[in-house]
Amino acid sequence: MIAAGVGHERGGIGFVGQYGEELTGGPDEEKRVLEAVKMTVELGGDVNAANSKGQTALHAATFMGYTSVIEYLASKGANLNAKDKYGETPLTIALGDPEGLVYRQLGGGRYDYSFRQPKEQKKVADLLVKLGAAPFTGKKRDRSGE
């Protein structure tokens, strides 16, 4: 999970920006992440292991937009429809949290940004569906006032 980017979620331990800022990466970073994930799996890592929030390596790779990592995890049996404790699947992360499941106030002026994308990652969403993720059938929230 860490190799795929769980620590890079918004506001997470590995995140170097501020709450609400966009994460940046690049092709070199994605290559390094893919190699780390491959090594972890080859050493016996479970592609469906989840943290205390129910987030898997696939949730993280989706959030980061790492298509090569998503393809690799899927080829190794990652659950494409795994839900975290908020009800988010990798696909709903790629769709920008269409139901508004995650973004909510925690108190003290803070918000929970865990794996919430502010906008859709169409390429990633299309890939997940192509790989076998169940298509999104929920009701999209009204974002016209945002």
Report CA-CA distances (Å) from 98 to 25, 136, 146. 24, 9, 13
Structural domain including 95 reads: 6-131
Q: Which residues contact 92 (CB under 8 A, 6 or more apart)?
A: 98, 99, 101, 136, 138
Q: 139 in a domain, yes or no?
A: no
Report the predicted TM-score, pTM, of the whole model to 2 decimal places.
0.79
Number of domains in the chain: 1
Q: What is the mean pLDDT of residues 122-138?
A: 96
Sign of CA dihedral 26, 24, 116, 99: negative
Q: 137 in a domain, yes or no?
A: no
For the segment 29-43, what is each residue's pLDDT rounded down to a tens digit? Answer: 889 989 999 999 999
Structure tokens at 4: 């795929």
Give residue 92's pLDDT.
92
Q: How much of the chain, in percent, has pLDDT values that exceed 70?
A: 68
Structure tokens at 81: 């429809």
CATH number of the domain that 36 lies in?
Answer: 1.25.40.20
Q: Which residues contact 32 (CB under 8 A, 6 or more apart)?
A: none
Q: 26 in a domain, yes or no?
A: yes
For the segment 62-111, what is each residue's pLDDT rounded down to a tens digit? Answer: 988 899 999 999 999 999 999 988 888 999 999 988 887 765 556 676 66
Q: 142 in a domain, yes or no?
A: no
Q: 144 in a domain, yes or no?
A: no
